[in-house]
């Protein structure tokens, strides 16, 4: 994999990461200078589609408590303690009930921030979605899913990396594909250079312009005859022109690393730096014990997820026709709760797709049921929609890339009409 890493080791003192996030939210918004137009994306070249944002929920999210099948009696039989109350259950507080979507499915109350996107038909949900792998191993499932293959014999590159390699958009931006975090996601690996970006604030070194100039001068000397080094300097030139401390948005993002990643993605899109793909992780979903139903570990994660996606969706409202956001997780969790008030590794999962061109306000896919004889293996939700079907539709319809046979080798996708 060819990658450009921003986590340079520098002998420069700067505020801790937590302080930088606080500064991002509290410094006064003085002038509209954060967002210059940068001439990176060539005009009138090969067609370029939507900007794709891929959010990976690492740890296997319990999707049965995220998008609740409240019309399924077996759900409540299998989850007497963790089950989310039906929308019309008068014995439960209103704020503890599922938010009805279509009479059968409902959102967890902490997912309520997404209801506007649902009502506006810009959010589609694909339930009982996932991969054919039934290992229930985090490492193996994530590896295969991010590579977009069925087993270890497939190509080592990532599915996004192959998408970038098979589509020439004429985009020479060093920020064509960005992995938000310390290292780029496995899905980005391939022959096309990608960037790992934890915080744009890091590049402004807490506002220390003298330190920034010293670093820039030193790197010019080190990288004067190095192609990869010159790419790094090009990225730094770009980021120096952006000022995250004066980024103006009327939409508040969660004060979390996930919220920051989405906010920075919005910033890069609006600045027109040629961003085509942003990969973002939200971890912590491996909830074997003390998972919580309406309060606790997983509800807090859902709150961060929903508030972040809702803020990003609202902030990018003027860009929705050129933006597609996808969420996915390596697998789901067991249909029944365990003795530790958690859930064990399962199979069937769920995906969400947000954007102005989705067939939204619908739960897509065939519901397999949760009755005896309908669950598979040790008691897991079955997969009725392959995740590659959803991604292939996004690639062909919104990213103008028909090369799904190269991106997902030895797989013939089925168009599920998740997009218009």
Alpha carbons 174 and 4: distance in angstroms, whole number: 9
Task: Point out the least confidently predicted range of 29-43, 154-168, 299-313.
Answer: 29-43
Average pLDDT estimate for 360-372: 97
CA neighbor of 130 nearest in space, from 406, 402, 418, 390:
390
Going by pLDDT thresholds of 50, 70 and 90, the confidence category of residue 234 is low
At residue 226, the pLDDT reads: 57
At residue 44, the pLDDT reads: 27
Going by pLDDT thresholds of 50, 70 and 90, the confidence category of residue 269 is very high
Query: Does 228 have pLDDT greater than 70?
Result: no
b vs e for 174-205, b when ≥16 Cβ sit within 10 Å of the residue's Cβ? bbbbbbbbeebbbbbbbebbbbbbbbbbbbbb
* Top-confidence residue, 2 or 353: 353
Query: Does 5 have pLDDT greater than 90?
Result: no
At residue 357, the pLDDT reads: 97
pLDDT tens for 173-216 read 888 999 998 889 999 999 998 988 887 766 554 455 665 566 55
pLDDT tens for 148-159 read 999 988 999 999
Average pLDDT estimate for 50-64: 98
Query: Does 267 have pLDDT greater than 70?
Result: yes
At residue 347, the pLDDT reads: 98
Average pLDDT estimate for 385-406: 96
At residue 200, the pLDDT reads: 76
* Top-confidence residue, 236 or 296: 296
> Tokens in use for 122?
């810009």
Alpha carbons 54 and 277: distance in angstroms, whole number: 8
At residue 182, the pLDDT reads: 83
Query: Does 379 have pLDDT greater than 80?
Result: yes
**Mean pLDDT score across all residues of the chain:** 85
Query: Does 40 have pLDDT greater than 50?
Result: no
Rounded (5°) CA angle 81-84-85: 105
pLDDT tens for 151-185 read 988 999 999 999 999 999 988 888 899 999 888 99
Alpha carbons 402 and 296: distance in angstroms, whole number: 43
> 67-68 and 277-283 as β-strands: parallel, antiparallel, unpaired?
unpaired
* Top-confidence residue, 126 or 246: 126
Query: Does the structural domain 35-201+254-407 have CATH classification 3.30.70?
Result: no
Query: Does 278 have pLDDT greater than 90?
Result: yes
At residue 196, the pLDDT reads: 87
């Amino acid at each position: 994999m060819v990658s450009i890493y921003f986590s340079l080791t520098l002998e420069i003192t700067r505020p801790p990461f937590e302080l930088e996030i606080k500064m991002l939210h509290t410094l006064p918004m003085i002038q509209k200078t954060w967002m210059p137009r940068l001439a990176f994306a060539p005009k009138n070249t090969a067609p370029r589609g939507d900007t794709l944002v891929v959010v990976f929920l690492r740890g296997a999210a319990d999707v049965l408590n995220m998008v609740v099948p409240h019309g399924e009696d077996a759900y409540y039989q299998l989850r007497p303690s963790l089950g989310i109350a039906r929308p019309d259950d008068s014995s439960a507080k209103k704020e503890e009930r599922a938010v009805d979507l279509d009479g059968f499915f409902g959102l967890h109350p902490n997912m309520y921030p997404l209801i506007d996107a649902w009502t506006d038909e810009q959010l589609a949900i694909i339930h009982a979605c996932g991969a054919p792998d039934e290992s229930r191993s985090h490492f193996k499932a994530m590896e295969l899913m991010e590579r977009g293959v069925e087993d270890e014999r497939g190509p080592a590159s990532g599915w996004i990396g192959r998408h970038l390699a098979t589509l020439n958009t004429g985009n020479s931006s060093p920020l064509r594909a960005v992995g938000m975090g310390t290292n780029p996601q496995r899905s980005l690996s391939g022959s096309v250079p990608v960037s790992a970006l934890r915080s744009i604030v890091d590049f402004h070194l807490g506002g220390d312009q003298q330190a920034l100039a010293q670093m820039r001068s030193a790197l010019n000397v080190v990288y004067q005859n190095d192609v990869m080094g010159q790419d790094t300097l090009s990225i730094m030139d770009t980021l120096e022109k952006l000022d995250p401390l004066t980024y103006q948005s009327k939409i508040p993002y969660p004060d979390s690393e996930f919220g920051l990643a989405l906010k920075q993605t919005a910033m890069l899109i609006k600045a027109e730096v040629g961003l085509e793909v942003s990969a973002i992780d939200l971890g912590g979903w491996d909830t074997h014990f003390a998972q919580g139903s309406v309060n606790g570990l997983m509800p807090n994660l859902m709150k961060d997820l929903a508030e972040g996606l809702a803020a990003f969706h609202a902030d990018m409202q003027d860009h929705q026709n050129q933006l597609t956001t996808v969420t996915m997780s390596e697998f789901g969790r067991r249909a029944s709760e365990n003795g530790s008030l958690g859930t064990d590794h399962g199979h069937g999962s769920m995906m969400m797709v947000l954007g102005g061109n989705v067939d939204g306000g619908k739960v897509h896919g065939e519901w397999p049921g949760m009755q005896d004889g309908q669950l598979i293996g040790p008691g897991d939700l079955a997969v009725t929609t392959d995740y590659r079907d959803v991604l292939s539709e996004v690639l062909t319809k919104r990213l103008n890339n028909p090369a799904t046979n190269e991106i997902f080798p030895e797989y013939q996708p089925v168009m599920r009409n998740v997009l218009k």
